[in-house]
């Protein structure tokens, strides 16, 4: 199989287990994001794939060849990989062209120059070919780091929080350029990030990590629409959490009333559950539909207003996102309706 395969990887730092029997495959032309909070093992996983961390348990394959097992590892420079780090790691004494050329070995000068020129043009940094890193902006430095990683046409690209040091507007532009280039090159790409929006924008598949384990693997749509646990659901945005009770297989009763929720299957009647509701799935009910509430606050955020509503029947407070231009006023009584497809039901979390 072309691409990267991590098989039954485990790793410790002292007594602390940082990776726990992890399996992951990234196919040729595929972009997979390792997503999770700080300290969950993402970067250690990437470093093991790169050969920068000694393998303690498991196997690493690239293009079907075994490149890593405990005590017997192919050096990083011989793994056909490209590396891009958060801090860019450019050589300050080399020009842009010199930094990119560093990734090439034993090629005729004419072929080297053709590859460098192509990447400089495609990443819109040709005018900086003779500049040194310290005179470049953060976005330009990141483009140079990407070009250096891609110039040798690696089979596998490994990227560790590559956009974290860029401001929001610049990050979007550099991320879009990077995504386009990765698609064109067709390498198997493993990208580490703690930003769920970034993962959803870039990835074909997302592996959500927690405490050294991959707890769900799937497409961005699968993880957003069908999280398998509360941790995954909460990682993809703000959620209202209401205490409820399951009944008759797919019915859930909570502060939002009695709702038919397919995701409630599997709970026996009377089971206490947590009902997780995305603010985006709540809207003002029409013709008297929905549950009565009182508008407590509304703050404009772009095209929407983030509102806080008190449910009159239960006294619980929830957040909702309404269209910004609305005639609602603080203190108004409104009816709140909800999209059942964006309700997630899990066993009640004991607090």
Exposed e or buried b for every residue in 116-148, given b needs 16+ CB within 10 A?
beebbebbebeebeeebbeebeebbbbbbbbbb
The pLDDT of 296-310, averaged and rounded, is 88
Q: Which residue has the tokens 């509503």?
A: 309
- What is the pTM assigned to this prediction? 0.89
- Bridge partners (DSSP) listed for residue 113: none
Tell whether the model's pLDDT for residue 251 goes beyond 80: no
**Domain annotation for the chain: domains and CATH numbers:** 3-233 (3.40.50.300), 238-347 (2.40.50.140)
One-character DSSP codes across 103-131: T--S--HHHHHHHHHHHHHHTT-GGGTT-
Q: What is the tens place of the pLDDT at every residue in 150-191?
A: 998 999 999 999 998 888 888 888 899 999 999 999 999 999
> Where does the pLDDT of residue 265 fall: very low under 50, low under 70, confident under 90, or very high at 90 and above?
low
Q: How confident is the model at residue 319 (pLDDT cuts 50, 70, 90)?
A: very high
- Is the distance from CB of 24 to CB of 61 less than 8 angstroms? no
Per the CB < 8 A criterion, the answer to whether 242 and 277 are in contact is yes
pLDDT given for residue 37 in this prediction: 94
| Residue 11 phi, psi (nearest 5) | -155, 140
Q: Give the tens place of pLDDT for each residue, 183-217.
A: 999 999 999 999 999 999 999 999 999 999 999 99
Q: Mean pLDDT of all residues in the chain? A: 90
Report the SS3 class of residue 273. Answer: strand
d(CA 203, CA 223): 12
Report how far residue 300's alpha carbon sits from residue 306's, in angstroms, rounded to the nearest whole number.
6
pLDDT above 80 (res 264) = no
Indicate whether 239 pLDDT > 80: yes
Give yes or no for a contact between 42 and 32, defined as CB atoms under 8 angstroms apart: no
Give 249's pLDDT tier (boundaries 50, 70, 90).
Answer: low
- Band (25; pLDDT cuts 50, 70, 90): very high
Sequence-distant (≥ 6) Cβ neighbours of residue 50 within 8 angstroms:
76, 79, 81, 83, 158
Least confident segment among 114-123, 151-160, 340-349: 340-349
Check pLDDT > 70 for residue 108: yes
Say what the pLDDT of residue 220 is. 96
- Mean pLDDT is lowest, of 194-203, 259-268, 297-306, for 259-268
């Amino acid at each position: 199989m072309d691409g990267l395969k991590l098989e039954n990887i485990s790793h410790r730092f002292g007594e602390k287990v940082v990776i726990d029997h992890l399996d992951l495959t990234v196919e040729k032309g595929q972009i997979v994001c390792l997503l999770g909070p700080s300290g969950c093992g993402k970067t250690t996983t990437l470093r093991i794939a790169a050969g920068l961390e000694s393998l303690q348990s498991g196997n690493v394959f690239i293009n079907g060849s075994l490149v890593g097992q405990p005590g017997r590892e192919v050096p990083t420079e011989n793994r056909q990989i490209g590396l891009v780090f958060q801090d860019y790691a450019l050589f300050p004494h080399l020009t842009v062209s010199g930094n990119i050329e560093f990734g090439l070995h034993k090629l005729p000068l004419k072929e080297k120059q053709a590859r460098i020129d192509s990447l400089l043009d495609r990443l819109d940094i040709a005018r900086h070919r003779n500049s040194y890193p310290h005179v470049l902006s953060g976005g330009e430095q990141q483009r140079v780091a990407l070009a250096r990683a891609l110039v040798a046409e690696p089979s596998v690209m490994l990227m560790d929080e590559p956009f974290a040091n860029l401001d929001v507007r610049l990050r979007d532009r550099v991320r879009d350029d990077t995504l386009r280039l990765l698609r064109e090159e067709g390498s198997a790409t493993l990208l580490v990030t703690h930003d769920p929006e970034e993962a959803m924008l870039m990835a074909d598949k997302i592996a959500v990590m927690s405490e050294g384990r991959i707890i769900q693997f799937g497409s961005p749509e699968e993880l957003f629409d069908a999280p398998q646990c509360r941790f995954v659901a909460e990682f993809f945005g703000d959620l209202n959490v209401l205490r409820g009770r399951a009944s008759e297989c797919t019915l859930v009763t909570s502060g939002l009333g009695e709702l038919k929720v397919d995701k409630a299957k599997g709970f026996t009647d009377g089971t206490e559950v947590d009902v997780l509701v995305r603010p985006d799935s709540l809207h003002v009910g029409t013709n008297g539909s929905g549950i009565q509430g009182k508008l407590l606050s509304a703050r404009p955020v772009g095209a929407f207003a983030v509102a806080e509503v008190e449910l009159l029947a239960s006294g619980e407070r929830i957040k909702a996102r309404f269209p910004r231009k609305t005639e609602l006023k603080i203190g108004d009584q409104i009816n709140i309706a909800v999209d059942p497809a964006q309700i997630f039901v899990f066993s009640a979390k004991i607090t």
